Structure 1
Amino acid sequence: MHFMPDARRSFPTSLFSDTTPPALRAPGDAWDLVVTDGPVIATAIHDGHALRESLRARVALDDEARWREEDPLTSLLTQVGDTRLRVRQSRFEVDLNRPRAEAVYATPEACWGLDVWKAPLDEAELQASLALHDRFYDMVGELIDRTVARWGSALLIDIHSYNHRRDGPDAAPAAQDANPDIELGITTLDADRWGDTARRFANVLRRHPVRGALPDVRCNVRFPTGGHFPEWVYAHWGDKVCTISPEYKKIFMDEWTGKADMPALYALRDGLEHAVDAVRPEFLA
Structure 2
Amino acid sequence: MPDAPDSRRPHAETFLTDTTPPALRLREDAWDLTVCDGPVIATAIHDGHTLHPALHDRIALDEQSRWREEDPLTSLLTQVGDARLRVRTSRFEVDLNRPRAGAIYATPEASWGLDVWISPLEEAERAASLALYDRFYAMMGELIDRTVDRWGCVLLVDIHSYNHRRDGPDAAPADAADNPDIELGITTLDPKRWGDTARRFANVLRRHPVRGALPDVRCNVRFPTGGHFPEWVYAHWGERVCTISPEYKKIFMDEWSGQADIPALYALRDGLQHAVDAVRPEFLA
Question: What are the superposed Cα offsets for residues 78-129 of structure 1, whole Å, 9 maximum, x if unpaired?
Answer: 0000000000000000000001000000000000000000000010000111
RMSD: 0.9
Q: For residue 167 of structure 2, what is the aligned residue in structure 1?
A: 167
1:12 Cα deviation after fit: 3.8
Q: For residue 11 of structure 1, what is the aligned residue in structure 2?
A: 9
Q: What residue identity is the alignment partner of 2:63?
A: D
Are 1:5 and 1:235, in contact at CA under 8 Å, matched by a contact in 2?
no
Q: For residue 150 of structure 1, what is the aligned residue in structure 2?
A: 150
1:98 aligns with 2:98: yes
Q: How does 1:173-184 map to 2 (within 5 A)?
A: 173-184=173-184
Distance 2:73 2:157 in 1: 15
CA 1:250–1:118: 2 relative to 1, 3 Å: same
Distance 1:252 1:125 in 2: 35
Question: What are the superposed Cα offsets for residues 16-54 of structure 1, whole Å, 9 maximum, x if unpaired?
Answer: 112111101011110000000000000000000000100
Q: For residue 229 of structure 1, what is the aligned residue in structure 2?
A: 229
CA 1:139–1:9: 2 relative to 1, 3 Å: closer
TM-score, length of structure 2 as denominator length = 0.98
TM-score, length of structure 1 as denominator length = 0.98
Distance 1:52 1:39 in 2: 33
Distance 2:258 2:42 in 1: 24
Are 1:33 and 1:86, in contact at CA under 8 Å, matched by a contact in 2?
yes
Question: What are the superposed Cα offsets for residues 122-141 of structure 1, whole Å, 9 maximum, x if unpaired?
Answer: 10000111000000000000
1:127 aligns with 2:119: no
Are 2:183 and 2:217, in contact at CA under 8 Å, matched by a contact in 1?
yes
Q: What residue identity is the alignment partner of 1:204?
A: V
Distance 1:87 1:13 in 2: 19
SS at match of 1:141: helix
Distance 2:57 2:70 in 1: 19
SS at match of 1:24: coil
Distance 2:238 2:121 in 1: 36
Q: For residue 252 of structure 1, what is the aligned residue in structure 2?
A: 252
Distance 1:50 1:5 in 2: 25
Q: For residue 209 of structure 1, what is the aligned residue in structure 2?
A: 209
Q: For residue 242 of structure 1, what is the aligned residue in structure 2?
A: 242
1:274 aligns with 2:265: no
Percent of residue pairs bearing the same amino acid type: 80
Distance 1:12 1:201 in 2: 31
Q: How many residues align?
A: 283
- Which structure 1 segments of 5+ residues have no match? none
SS at match of 2:184: strand
- Which structure 2 segments of 5+ residues have no match? none
SS at match of 1:86: strand
1:190 aligns with 2:190: yes
1:68 aligns with 2:55: no
1:5 Cα deviation after fit: 4.5
